[in-house]
Structure 1
């Protein structure tokens, strides 16, 4: 079994392990790319399932850790080789030590060169409730990460601790269950990149107990989450083993020592614009005759989609309805823009899809009214942008998309 090192080496390891941890979170510009990952809110791509295992609420500082940095070299706790990391001897932090004690026999090793991290990373403090390692059970190195936090279960977003939408995301397997003790558990098998442009697999287990203890664990079949070649066919731990790990009693004292969630946290501001439910209803009502809706979905506000079939295969159609978008007008409505009598600007696009699915084509109509009210709609020749094309062309023509986008129904 892996063992936890100890003694006076612990303090120096805190600096070494700190180099391996960084706060996650990405923001994306939408200039020229108006529909990404299921919708855009105010010119920014809304993060969808990145990650379900991300810590929220009063423990937002305990973000999921990226795996760029150095870890213990050789057998953990080896006092003879000292576990040298960048010239410092290493002992495990409480979270990493608990993880090591729960893992099957193996080795924790240094992150491969070029995988990120470095001495500058040591300037960033190590989050108290998180740890990341590179683990080798003899069948190839694999990145593992654990995040601990405390949540108010009643205040969680309804989309948390649920499986992703299979029409928007591509994954192998997912289950979201309520356990006998009242805990909520998500077990997920998928890929780091939903379009599978790289074969890095990402599996996770995410647990929330009735008292608000959140234990999330992720694993990959590569020594880093991104930027490292695949080192094994699958991550090292089965989902059953991951379930056992996140439910282990050993985590509870560590979670209990973290700050309690805020009792009276302010409610998030109400979304502006049309709700996703209203958008979905109005989109469905305007679809051309001959189309059957096979699936649909929405975000809380500003976005909805349908999967339609005209008898020649499924086609994904998505729409954003966004107020106050004048700030991106100059980026999105340039050369080739048509101006209608009421001042509405219209641009059309037709070409390959953005997500990388083989043979995927897209048709898009983007509009903006003089007051910044934007409606942009796209249709694809597949039911899921991340997967290969399932028909020759999208089910809706540019003319049909234009009619929907310029309809006055969106201003009611």
Structure 2
């Protein structure tokens, strides 16, 4: 996965970055207990959309087991494993306009009541909710219930938040995830009559499919920046519950209608503004082409590029190559100003070249747990903090089983790519 860079706090961004990093760390540490799915959805789905791409190039820091993750900053967690695919309980850093002066307080019971009212006829159980908390403006209002339409119980949750219209979070909330990293059965984006955009993804709770629990999501963004995230499962809980029905309770059309319900927009309008957040101008969609172009140009002869993709921050790209012996995923992260984490990333076992560049090489199991998958990594950092880290896998996807005994690129070839002067351009 791409590794987030650290920033100084001269512009006040450090406090926000710390909140996000802390939330992500708590999420990873808490993977063993039940979380508030609704709060995670609205608080993390927008940023989590980005992390579906950005988490792909996580690099564990050698023997120390250092994982870098988070949004807008680097979090060093000694001894941690690779993050799960669940978007972290990160909080969107987009600005929040002031709450509507006519908006009344929205309680947890209100959220649960609205969700139940908007669902088809059936039985309800195990309801949980969070209302609009003026003292906690970063906590997303949410609700979750177990719904049974007579064909078996299924958990359904909704969470709402606000995103900047035209901003990167708004755009990424309604993007289909990349199948190389997030397996799913279908993804469709619709433009509604009121100019809202909604994307429905038919996916799975566990990307590696170790348990076949289905997770279907709908993310809707309105022209005014209302963000509604709805999730449903074919089980009574997102984790650790037996599959109780073949499909989640709501069809794609019903899921879309639930996300588009006007009631949720009133809740968003009641969310107080966060004075710590600053205005972010709308951004045009990036395509990461410079990094992808450079990576493609450095692929050794004899390897055919059969798939590729990029993160829109232009720091991360990947290619899937095939030498006729099976597909192999190759991903690269290019980051400036990483000197402040050099000691954690390049410890014992790393080497220093004559020009001061530090290099660390690692061979380890693939982080997502695909059967027999291994990950070979070469991590480099120049004296000015310019970092290039490249990894190759013996599979075309981190979630699928190994397609070959070793990655298509040797460690020597990965090293040559990482140290190429082309990255400077």
TM-score by length of structure 2 reads: 0.69
Are the structure 2 counterparts of residues 182 and 142 from structure 1 closer, same or farther at C-alpha, using a change threshold of 3 Å?
same
**CA–CA distance in structure 2, aligned partners of residues 400 and 207 of structure 1:** 43
CA displacement at 1:393 relative to structure 2: 2.5
Contact 2:91 2:138 in 1 (8 A): no
CA displacement at 1:36 relative to structure 2: 8.2
Q: 176, 184, 188: which one pairs with 1:163?
A: 176
CA displacement at 1:352 relative to structure 2: 2.4
Contact 2:39 2:159 in 1 (8 A): no
Are the structure 2 counterparts of residues 288 and 316 from structure 1 closer, same or farther at C-alpha, using a change threshold of 3 Å?
same
Are the structure 2 counterparts of residues 177 and 35 from structure 1 closer, same or farther at C-alpha, using a change threshold of 3 Å?
farther
CA displacement at 1:290 relative to structure 2: 1.7
- Bigger Rg, which one: 1
CA displacement at 1:353 relative to structure 2: 1.0
**CA–CA distance in structure 1, aligned partners of residues 336 and 219 of structure 2:** 35
RMSD over aligned Cα atoms: 4.3
1:377 matches 2:390: yes
1:109 matches 2:125: yes
**CA–CA distance in structure 1, aligned partners of residues 95 and 246 of structure 2:** 37
1:301 matches 2:317: no
Q: Tell me what 1:187 maps to.
A: 200
**CA–CA distance in structure 2, aligned partners of residues 94 and 138 of structure 1:** 25
Contact 1:38 1:168 in 2 (8 A): no
Q: Aligned residue pairs: how many?
A: 353
CA displacement at 1:128 relative to structure 2: 7.2
**CA–CA distance in structure 1, aligned partners of residues 154 and 69 of structure 2:** 27
What do the CA deviations read for 1:6-36 (whole angstroms, capped 9, x no partner)? xxxxxxxxxxxxx997565599996526888
Q: Structure 1 or 2: larger helix share?
A: 2
Q: Tell me what 2:401 maps to.
A: 388
Aligned pairs (5 A) from 1:8-407: 22=39, 25=44, 31-32=60-61, 42=74, 50=87, 57-59=94-96, 93-110=109-126, 129-157=141-169, 158-258=171-271, 266-267=279-280, 276-299=288-311, 300-407=313-420
**CA–CA distance in structure 2, aligned partners of residues 187 and 21 of structure 1:** 17
Q: Tell me what 2:26 maps to.
A: none
**CA–CA distance in structure 1, aligned partners of residues 354 and 238 of structure 2:** 51
Are the structure 2 counterparts of residues 43 and 379 from structure 1 closer, same or farther at C-alpha, using a change threshold of 3 Å?
farther
**CA–CA distance in structure 1, aligned partners of residues 184 and 394 of structure 2:** 20
CA displacement at 1:256 relative to structure 2: 5.0
Of the structure 1 ranges 35-44 and 99-108, higher mean CA displacement relative to structure 2 is found in: 35-44
Q: Tell me what 1:85 maps to.
A: none
Contact 1:22 1:124 in 2 (8 A): no
Report SS of the residue matched to 1:294: strand
CA displacement at 1:55 relative to structure 2: 6.5
CA displacement at 1:172 relative to structure 2: 1.4
Q: Tell me what 1:8 maps to.
A: none
Contact 2:154 2:232 in 1 (8 A): yes
Contact 1:351 1:361 in 2 (8 A): yes
Contact 1:356 1:386 in 2 (8 A): yes
What do the CA deviations read for 1:311-345 (whole angstroms, capped 9, x no partner)? 22321100112223233333332332232222222
**CA–CA distance in structure 2, aligned partners of residues 408 and 242 of structure 1:** 49
Contact 1:37 1:48 in 2 (8 A): no
TM-score by length of structure 1 reads: 0.71
**CA–CA distance in structure 2, aligned partners of residues 38 and 303 of structure 1:** 15
What do the CA deviations read for 1:233-269 (whole angstroms, capped 9, x no partner)? 432212122122223345455455556899x952279
**CA–CA distance in structure 2, aligned partners of residues 35 and 318 of structure 1:** 17
CA displacement at 1:51 relative to structure 2: 8.0
CA displacement at 1:39 relative to structure 2: 11
Report SS of the residue matched to 1:159: helix
Are the structure 2 counterparts of residues 336 and 265 from structure 1 closer, same or farther at C-alpha, using a change threshold of 3 Å?
closer
Are the structure 2 counterparts of residues 309 and 61 from structure 1 closer, same or farther at C-alpha, using a change threshold of 3 Å?
farther
Contact 1:38 1:318 in 2 (8 A): no
Are the structure 2 counterparts of residues 282 and 252 from structure 1 closer, same or farther at C-alpha, using a change threshold of 3 Å?
closer
